[in-house]
């Protein structure tokens, strides 16, 4: 019986620990900001994170995936409809069930900020919205080309770290997140999280200011680099995580040390209220499975008696399709006007008259020259 008490105690502590994070749902916003064929690796980065996040339980309805260019169907792709992340084409991250929410030219700074702050036009479909509340944990992953304090979108515009920090502050004030994990894999990525000032944000970057994030390996058949180093090792790390795993953030900070990444990954935890040691990876990458422990038994065997509705429905007329677009009523058309011509005989007579007058005036002898 001591064993039973011990197990019981163990389960309840685990359970309470399970609810320590305070969030009830998970969202993910995954953005690839670069277009062009030679930026294949950025799309592969995002799709790898997408894959991990889906595998660990976040459904498509809770993922906002933004891809700036279409690599799978690019004319230059020798293996169409695939995006590989490992060389020798071991892992196709494009798969069969990728759901891209913002594609191509829709991936702009404005759309990204609108998604984060929720200021979208009313016609935006649900799949394009971040419908988070104050108990959501959000994972935000950005990748592309960046610099000191900015991230380049689509080769034409940039988002600065100040704008991003302000967007997160707006989210905090609108109670749109419980906790936020921000991961960025670009050159000088650490500059993007320098300016954050809202609480409950944890940030990771693939390189420090002044360093370049390097790509991992080229594939000689496709002819491009397939992934960036940081995300490659992140993917390897995440492949070992399963929905019930207890790995915490400190393990995530250790992903891709300088020996593997060449750049120095950085992280920022000062705005985060909890200790990173107690934050599970699945708090952000996975989805919450809410388990309620009950001590009473619920009786499921007796069937409940349902009163049968015996009301008779009134007889309705036979239905027909409504004329949805009564064209004749809408467009009042006048009959087409035919051009009026004078009658043919009249023209003939007129010309005869002219000829006769002519010959009268100038003499009838010219008439024989004509006939």
Partner 1 sequence: MGLLSDPNRRKALTSLLTRLNTPICVVCYLAGIAWFMGLAFEPFTLRTYMSENAMGSTMVEERFPAGERALATAREFAAHKRKVGGMPVEWLVKTMQARGLEVFTQSFTRTLPFPDENKERYMVRGTNIYGILRAPRAPRTEALVLSAPCSPDNSNNQAVGLLLGLAQYFRSKMFYVEFDCTSLSGFFSHHSGMDYTPLQGRAGSIQAALSLELSSDVITSLDLVLEGLNGQLPNLDLANLFHAFCQKIGVLCTIQGKLQRGDWDTAEGYTHAVQTMMLMVLKQASGRPWGDHGLFLRYHIEAASVRGINSFRQYKTDATTIGRLLEGMFRKLNNLLERLHQSYFFYLMPSLTHFVSIGYYMPAFGLLATILLLRALDLWVQLGTPAQVTEDGAVLFIFSYYKSFLSPSVLVPSFKPSMVISHLTGVALYTLPVLSQETAVEHFPVSETEAVVLTAIAIYTAGLALPHNTHRFISGEGTEQGWRVLKLVALLYLAVLLGCTALINFSLGFILAITLVPAAACVTPHMPKALTALAMVLLSPGCTLLYCVFIFQELQEAPVTLPEGWMLFLSVISQGILDHSLYGSLVYPLLALLIYPCWLLLWNILFWK
- Residue 145 known to be catalytic: yes
Residue range at the interface with partner 1 (CB under 8 A); choices 75-83, 112-120, 172-180, 320-328: 75-83
- Residue 187 known to be catalytic: yes
Residue range at the interface with partner 1 (CB under 8 A); choices 12-20, 24-32, 77-85, 316-324: 77-85
Report in angstroms the alpha-carbon separations of 212 from 37, 217, 330. Answer: 20, 15, 64
CB of 77 to partner 1, least distance (A): 8
The contact pattern for partner 1, residues 6-45, with x = CB under 8 A and - = no contact, is ------------------------------xxx-------
CB of 114 to partner 1, least distance (A): 29
CB of 80 to partner 1, least distance (A): 7
The contact pattern for partner 1, residues 178-217, with x = CB under 8 A and - = no contact, is -------------------------------------x--
154 binds partner 1 (CB under 8 A): no
Residue from 52, 77, 92, 111 touching partner 1 (CB under 8 A): that is: 77
Q: Output the 3-class SS for the chain.
A: CHHHHHHHHHHHHHHHHHCCCCCCEEEEEEEECCCCHHHHHHHHHHHHHHHHHHHCCCCHHHEEEEECCCCCCCCCCCCCCCCECCHHHCCECCCCCCCCCEEHHHCCHHHHHHHHHCCCCCCCCHHHCCCCCCCEEEEEEEECEEECCEEEECCCEEEEHHHHHHHHHHHHHCCCCCEEEEEEECCCHHHHHCCCCCCCEEEEECCCCCCCCCECCEECCCCEECCEHHHHHHHHHHHCCCCCCCCEHHHHHCCCCHHHHCCCCEEECCCCCCCHHHCECHHHHCCCCCCCCCCCCCCCCCCCCCCCCCCCCCCCCCCCCCCCCCHHHHCCCCCCCCCCCCCHHHHHHHHHHHHHHHHHHHCHHHHHHHC
The contact pattern for partner 1, residues 225-264, with x = CB under 8 A and - = no contact, is x---------------------------------------
- Active-site option among 23, 62, 187, 225: 187
Torsion-angle region of 57 (φ positive above 0: left; ψ -120 to 50: alpha; else: beta): left
Residue from 53, 130, 224, 227 touching partner 1 (CB under 8 A): that is: 224
Size of the site for partner 1 (CB under 8 A): 15
Q: Nearer Cβ to partner 1, position 223 or 257? A: 223
CB of 197 to partner 1, least distance (A): 35
104 binds partner 1 (CB under 8 A): no
Residue from 7, 10, 14, 76 touching partner 1 (CB under 8 A): that is: 76
Report yes or no: 170 and 228 within 8 Å, Cβ to Cβ: no
Task: Give dist(CA 257, CA 259) in Å, integer.
Answer: 5
By CB under 8 A, what part of segment 259-318 binds partner 1? none
Task: Give dist(CA 190, CA 294) in Å, integer.
Answer: 46
Among 220, 212, 255, residue whose Cα is nearest residue 235: 255
Q: Nearer Cβ to partner 1, position 77 or 92? A: 77
Q: Nearer Cβ to partner 1, position 87 or 268? A: 87
Residue range at the interface with partner 1 (CB under 8 A); choices 70-78, 81-89, 250-258, 295-303: 70-78
CB of 37 to partner 1, least distance (A): 6
Q: Nearer Cβ to partner 1, position 37 or 172? A: 37
Q: Nearer Cβ to partner 1, position 33 or 77? A: 77
Positions that interact with partner 1 (CB under 8 A):
36-38, 75-78, 80, 215, 218, 220-221, 223-225
Any idea which residues carry the catalytic annotation? 145, 187
């Amino acid at each position: 019986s001591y064993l039973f008490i011990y197990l019981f105690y163990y389960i309840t502590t685990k359970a309470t620990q399970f609810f320590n994070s305070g969030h009830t749902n998970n969202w993910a916003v995954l953005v690839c900001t670069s277009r062009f064929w030679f930026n294949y690796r950025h799309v592969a980065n995002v799709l790898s994170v997408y894959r991990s996040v889906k595998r660990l339980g976040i459904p498509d309805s809770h993922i906002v995936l933004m891809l700036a260019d279409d690599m799978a169907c690019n004319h230059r792709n020798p293996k169409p409809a695939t995006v590989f992340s490992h060389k020798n084409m071991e892992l196709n991250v494009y798969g069969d069930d990728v759901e891209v929410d913002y594609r191509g030219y829709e991936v702009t700074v404005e759309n990204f900020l609108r998604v984060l702050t929720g200021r979208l036009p009313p016609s935006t479909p649900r799949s394009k919205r971040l419908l988070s509340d104050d108990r959501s944990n959000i994972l935000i992953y950005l990748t592309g080309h960046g610099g000191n304090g900015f991230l380049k979108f689509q080769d034409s515009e940039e988002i600065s770290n100040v704008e991003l920090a302000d967007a997160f502050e707006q989210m905090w004030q609108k109670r749109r997140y419980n906790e936020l994990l921000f991961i960025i894999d670009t050159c000088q990525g650490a500059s993007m999280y320098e300016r954050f000032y809202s609480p409950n944000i944890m940030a990771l970057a693939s390189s420090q200011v002044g360093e370049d994030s390097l790509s991992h390996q080229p594939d000689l058949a496709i002819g491009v680099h397939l992934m960036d180093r940081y995300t490659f090792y992140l993917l390897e790390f995440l492949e070992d995580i399963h929905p019930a795993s207890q790995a915490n953030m400190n393990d995530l900070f250790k992903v891709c040390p300088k020996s593997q990444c060449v750049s120095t990954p950085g992280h920022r935890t000062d705005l985060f209220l909890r200790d990173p040691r107690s934050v599970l990876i699945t708090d952000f990458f996975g989805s919450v499975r809410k388990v309620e422990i009950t001590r009473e038994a619920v009786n499921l065997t007796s069937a409940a008696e349902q009163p049968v509705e015996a009301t008779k429905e009134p007889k309705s007329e036979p239905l027909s399709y409504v004329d949805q677009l009564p064209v004749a009523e809408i467009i009042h058309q006048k009959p087409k006007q035919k051009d009026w011509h004078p009658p043919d005989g009249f023209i003939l007579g007129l010309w005869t008259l002219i000829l006769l007058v002519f010959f009268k005036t100038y003499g009838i002898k010219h008439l024989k020259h004509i006939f």
